[in-house]
Amino acid sequence: MTQASHERVLIVDFGSQVTQLIARRLRESGVYCEIHPYNKADAAFLAAYAPKAIILSGGPSSVYWDGAPMADTAIFEAGVPVLGICYGQQVMMHQLGGRIEGGTSREFGRAFIEPVVMDPILEGLFEGGNPEQVWMSHGDHVAEMAPGFGVIAKSPGAPYAVIADPERRFYGTQFHPEVVHTVHGAKILRNFIHGVAGLKGDWTMAAYRAEAIAKIRAQVGKGRVICGLSGGVDSSVAAVLIHEAIGEQLTCVYVDHGLMRAGESEQVVSLFREHYNIPLVHVDASELFLGKLAGVSDPESKRKIIGGLFIDVFDEEAKKIGGADFLAQGTLYPDVIESVSVSGGPSMTIKSHHNVGGLPARMKMKLVEPLRELFKDEVRALGRELGLPDAFVGRHPFPGPGLAIRIPGDITRAKADTLRKADAIYIDEIRKAGLYDEIWQAFSVLLPVNTVGVMGDVRTYEAVLALRAVTSIDGMTADYYPFDHAFLGRVATRIINEVKGVNRVVYDITSKPPGTIEWE
């Protein structure tokens, strides 16, 4: 948890796949918040954390299921405003004396609410008397409100769409204000945090930088730190931040596993050795990694092999420099949240290539993870605050396993080289078209499929390459980028002409709704 000098909000997680979006909306309005599982948010935790407001997330459960997650009673006795969202609203009603009904009014998708009485939480909504679009996702619903509550807004399918007990400053919404499909949902959350709870919004990236440097110095003391660079933005920002805190006590290790993007190694080495003068060990471990990955097709196995080998290499390099007391990583807040999922669901495996669960027992180093309270776009903001080149900070995300998870099936050096060349052409054309900054992530996938084609007068039997490009705000949800056919035609022509081994190019137009994953 961050220093207690900031006003803080607690988000109690009941297992919703979009809980992280609540935190994003609050951070966007300058309010520091943390997500913690419902079974950890007890009286002792609340006393230590001292939140100025509490938000109860949605979740997949029914309050009537055996063992259904419930809020600790201390939450409702803390004397601070509480907002319950979807299942959080139902938990609040169930525990405070209302009644929940299930199975009779399932509602998933867009709905429109209209005000019953005006309230501070609705400030700035319903302009011109128009209803507000919201996003419903519930099977159960409130059938009877708890004592002290009244209806604030309703929809045709949800008579208790927004409810409130103004005296205790308790609120509930049947819909999800955190998702983009609730058009003015961010305003509802701001109204609750700033209007109802009275928070000023005192959390800035400059403040985070200063506090993080102080925490690193306090944790590390006179110890030595080895930082594992992956070539991505996260580990790079972590390295620059740590170097600012402890200087020559930091040594960075960049491991090229043979599955990096074109030019990646040269760019990383140049940035750290020449621009920042940070001690850097460059390890070409491509033979080791590709050898261990030979014949492995399962994507999760690939992740584990790569993650294990990274640790082995770091351990070996630490010994070469005379030992290290700490290992630094670019772990982000989404990684941390997913590693402690309250439901034990699929999110537990999504970030398995990050070592968020701790180091192997054989290693004597402790972890330094200065970004573990930040989301991706906040890391970019911190990078700019630290003075990293914008071209580097603004790069598209690149997962730790690199091209390994963009080559379905077994991996060979030849496949990696083919994909690397094709991907470089794709990104080059995106940059030439001035589209790079409009796209959150773009990459190529070498499919384990060959097709027959005719190139010139020769029949070919070569691979299919898939192109992917998505727009997103936070990476939690994404939609495909609508390239025009002329652009796709240029890219496909260049790849087929310049990359031997590919004779067909396809474009993936799959959207990414909450809870799904990419080509990984």
Three-state SS for 476? coil
Helix (H, G, I), strand (E, B) or coil at 437: helix
Going along 331-478, which residue ranges are E strands?
366-368, 441-455, 458-471
Q: For the chain, percent helix, then strand, then coil, each to nearest 5?
A: 35, 25, 40
Which residues have a catalytic role annotated?
Answer: 86, 176, 178
Q: At CA 478, angle to CA 472 and CA 479, rounded to 5?
A: 105
DSSP state of 280: E
Which residues touch 255 (CB under 8 Å, ≥6 apart)?
228, 229, 230, 283, 285, 310, 313, 314
Residue 417 vs residues 118, 172, 303, 451, 493: alpha-carbon distances, Å = 61, 54, 19, 19, 19
How far, in Å, CA of 404 to CA of 20, rounded?
27
Residue 364 one-letter amino acid: K
Q: What are the Cα distances from residue 232, in Å, to 145, 238, 250, 287, 400?
A: 49, 10, 18, 21, 8
Given a contact cutoff of 8 angstroms between Cβ atoms, the answer to whether 185 and 94 are in contact is: no
Cα separation, 475 vs 517, whole angstroms: 10
Among candidate residues 58, 59, 60, 12, the one with its CA nearest the CA of residue 33: 12
Count of residues making up the chain: 520
Tokens of 336: 């941390």
* Gap between the Cα atoms of 482 and 435, Å rounded: 11
* Pairwise CA distance, residues 173 & 189, whole Å: 11
DSSP string, 289-307: HHHHHTT---HHHHHHHHH
Spell out the residues 6+ positions from residue 387 whose beta carbon is closer than 8 angstroms to its own: 240
Residue 93 makes CB contacts below 8 A (sequence gap 6+) with 84, 99, 100, 142, 144, 145, 146, 149, 163, 172
Biggest alpha carbon–alpha carbon distance for the chain: 81
Which amino acid, residue 350? Answer: I
User: Residue 292: CB partners within 8 Å, gap ≥ 6?
Assistant: 305, 309
Distance CA 138, CA 79 (A): 29
